[in-house]
Amino acid sequence: MTALDERGRRALVTLLEDDDPQLQQLLAEQLARMGPTGCEVLEQTLREGSPAARRHAARLLRDLREQQAEEKFLRFCRNEANGDLETGNWLLAKTRYPTLEEHAYRARLDQMAQELRERLTGRETPRATVEVCNHYLFQLLNFRGNVHDYYDPDNSYLNRVLDRRLGIPISLSVVYLLLGQRLGWPLFGVGLPGHFLLTWRSPDVAFFIDPFHGGQLLDEAACRRLAIRHAGVFHDHFLQPVPSRKILARQCHNLYAIYRTSDPRRAERMRRFLEALSD
């Protein structure tokens, strides 16, 4: 769209003062078509508009940024989701928190990895390495499973997991995985039915880690019992590492299940992401 002159901007700001729902919907559609210019108009209104205009501008700007974040994550799901779990998680989080400062959160994970590195000599066995990580994450930093509000959507967005140090099995596993990637550990996700785990797999050792329960170490028999408890059945493929694309899909599926009864608009968004990830 061509640049909007000052007269046009003032006209839009005036219309933003109107409480009529149909007019607000029309404005939302027009501003979305304007792309970055639409965001600029809304940001200017937040600085200079009347209280009524600022109220509507704040809502429309949030919705517009979420729509833009949604389209960006959809493109990622279709084209790039196979390898970069961290980027995928930030893009997913921006569909709910579009103004989050990704670089600050990446820096926080970098700092956590550095602190972990300083606690290790490099001579530890794999299990001892994991025990050091468990102590750091779950005792010193107090990351934990949100057993009191398991279905809170914030348990699934990486920025909120880092802020609150609360999560569900898959989101706590993602934090663990991203630290492991920075430290060069052979960690992989394991998508058991009803419960997500990690596995440490090197040529000479393999075991499982349950971040939701403080990093508890499990053997294959314990994982088999866990799968039977949740699904009533066990298959060997349950214990195979899952790629980033499937991890993101499981995260979106969890959010879809939460939003399906509480927020149909966000549920539809998650359905679109799942469709893209299944292509």
Q: Domain limits of the chain?
A: 6-71, 85-278
CATH of 6-71, one of 3.20.20, 1.10.357, 1.25.10, 2.60.40: 1.25.10
Helix axes 51-79, 21-34, angle to 10 degrees: 50
- For domain 85-278, the CATH architecture is Roll (3.10)
Alpha-carbon radius of gyration of the chain = 22
Residue range 98-109, pLDDT digits in tens = 999 999 999 999
Q: Is the pTM of this model over 0.95?
A: no
DSSP 96: T
> Whole-angstrom Cα distance, residue 178 to residue 267?
27
- Catalogue the long-range contacts made by 71-77 (C-beta closer than 8 Å, 24 or more residues apart): 73/273, 74/272, 74/273, 74/276, 77/248, 77/273, 77/276, 77/277
**DSSP state letters, 3-42:** PPPHHHHHHHHHHTT---HHHHHHHHHHHHHHTHHHHHHH
> Whole-angstrom Cα distance, residue 49 to residue 43?
10
pLDDT of residue 65: 87
Helices (H) and strands (E) in the chain, counts: 12, 7
Residue range 157-206, pLDDT digits in tens = 999 999 999 999 999 999 999 999 999 999 999 999 999 999 999 989 99
The residue ranges of the chain whose pLDDT is under 70 are: 1-5, 81, 279
**CB neighbours of residue 105 within 10 Å:** 18
